[in-house]
Amino acid sequence: MGESYQIRLSTDDLPRKWYNILPDLPEPLPPPIGDEQLQRLPELMIGKCLEQEMSQENWIDIPDGVLELYERAGRPRPLFRARALERAIGTPARMYYKSEFYSPTGSHKVNTALAQAYYAKEQGIERLTTETGAGQWGTALSYACAMVGLKCTIYWVRAVYRWKKARRNLMNLFGAQVFASPSPNTKVGKELYDKNPEHPGSLSIAISEGLEDAQDPKAAYSLGSVLNHVLMHQTIIGLETQKQFEKAGDYPDIMISCLGGGSNFGGFVLPFVGEVLKKGKKIKFIAAQSKAAPNLQGEYKYDYADHGEITPQLKMYTLGHQTEFPPIRGDGLRYHGCSPIISLLRKHGYIDTIAYPQDEKYVFEMAELFTRTEGFLPAPESAYSIACAIDEAHRCKKTGEAKVIAFNVSGHGFMDMVGYDEVLGLSDRSPLREMAK
Ligand SMILES: *Cc1c(COP(=O)(O)O)cnc(C)c1O
């Protein structure tokens, strides 16, 4: 074999501990506030997750049961060297990408869903409830509940529920109960549903329904991004990547991923941020966002995590918890606030950010280039990460610098072909024009 394309770990190399950055942060993380909201949490949340949320331990053991679930989900995942993409750009940069698109449900979200479902089962909880907007989180939790033998109830914003039938069917295949929200199932939902059974719903109503349903003593509520324990579970991505760079005898100068609430970005970069903070390494971290919801360009202040003000307030970069955002295909990037950990690092100057135009034409074109050269179809959210990596590679081409660019591809786009078609006009492409290219 000639040049290598893939850096692979064996199952024995699977990291045994998650990295908790809290004790290494440049200043203590401002605590969540709101007495009433905080008091409700122990009844609603998985005990172990709540405990991990505040932990000051640097390294947290991954239970054997979770390691087994990670292995069943295909971990460790390969790190690829993007040689074909490098050649297409003509860059001296060395580009590497992490393959979270190999996830059984199509996104990195299974990394925390599996850990949460495992802890819930261990605690004797019988059912997990959650809300979902784009649908990736609902699918990941449905899958995780199926793997450990828990029931799963999903409240899905009615407007999206109708539209994404394939994803809904996948959740049903995993055995989840999926309700269009507002539903007649809860008090909050029924009030709205009785007035208008066609109510389009919103993420805040769906959160309220999930939380109300979790008051059942046998149930708990699960969260898919933003919180400290979610980012910590996701560090499995970056910890594997560290081992892979060691194996490759290389080290990143620039690390990139897309950012909605911050879980895939955090999971990918935080172990490396630890090396910057403690070992004096130098890496540029870039979070790729949409101009539709560039939360890292918002204000750093206390704000609610939800529209309905049910959650405690978190200190974070936010655009305001009741702001309405225009629809985009990369729906997972449409959230008002950024995780408190990433926000604090941004405030201290460790995180750069870029926001791409909300028509998404440019990012989808870059996703097309990636698909044609590397062969993997990225999720619309991941297209932002790819666009940013390509921009950096072009910068290297101009300056002649052979930098090492590492980027995360958070998911696959097999269920997002409608979005690709709408943005790129695939169905309207003339075969003759294509041949002339
Ligand atoms: C949910 C999602 C995101 C955005 O969420 P983060 O918590 O910021 O990672 C990005 N990519 C994919 C594929 C997603 O499903």
Q: Can you tell me the mean pLDDT for 201-226?
A: 92
Establish if 305 belongs to a structural domain.
yes
Radius of gyration of the chain (CA): 21
- Asked whether residue 323 falls in the same domain as residue 344, the answer is yes
- Asked whether residue 79 falls in the same domain as residue 176, the answer is no
Res. 287: pLDDT tops 90: yes
- Asked whether residue 158 falls in the same domain as residue 217, the answer is yes
Q: How confident is the model at residue 203 (pLDDT cuts 50, 70, 90)?
A: confident
Chosen domain end from 221, 244, 276: 221
Residue 174: CATH number of its domain? 3.40.50.1100
Would you state the structure tokens that stand for residue 13, as one six-digit string?
Answer: 């190399």
DSSP SS3 for 53: helix
Residue pair 109/332 in contact by the 8 Å Cβ criterion: no
- Number of domains present in the structure of the chain: 2
Establish if 335 belongs to a structural domain.
yes
Chosen domain end from 221, 244, 264: 221
Res. 251: pLDDT tops 90: yes
137 CA distance to ligand 1 middle (Å): 9
Nearest CA-CA partner of 225 in 183, 257, 177: 257
- Asked whether residue 82 falls in the same domain as residue 113, the answer is no
Chosen domain end from 187, 221, 255: 221
Residue pair 135/168 in contact by the 8 Å Cβ criterion: yes
* Cβ burial, residue 30 (10 Å; 0-12/13-18/19+): middle
Res. 436: pLDDT tops 70: no
338 CA distance to ligand 1 middle (Å): 12
- Asked whether residue 181 falls in the same domain as residue 256, the answer is no
What is the domain range of residue 121?
26-63+108-221
Q: How confident is the model at residue 163 (pLDDT cuts 50, 70, 90)?
A: confident
Residues with CB under 6 A from ligand 1: 107, 109, 136, 225, 258-265, 332-333, 379, 381-382, 410-411
- Which atom of ligand 1 is found nearest the CA of 411? 13
Res. 207: pLDDT tops 60: yes
Nearest CA-CA partner of 274 in 30, 26, 78, 9: 26
Establish if 386 belongs to a structural domain.
yes
- Asked whether residue 71 falls in the same domain as residue 121, the answer is no
- Asked whether residue 121 falls in the same domain as residue 186, the answer is yes
- Asked whether residue 273 falls in the same domain as residue 173, the answer is no
Integer Cα distance of 133 and 155 in angstroms? 9
pTM, full prediction: 0.96
- Asked whether residue 122 falls in the same domain as residue 172, the answer is yes
401 CA distance to ligand 1 middle (Å): 31
Integer Cα distance of 290 and 275 in angstroms? 28
Establish if 99 belongs to a structural domain.
yes
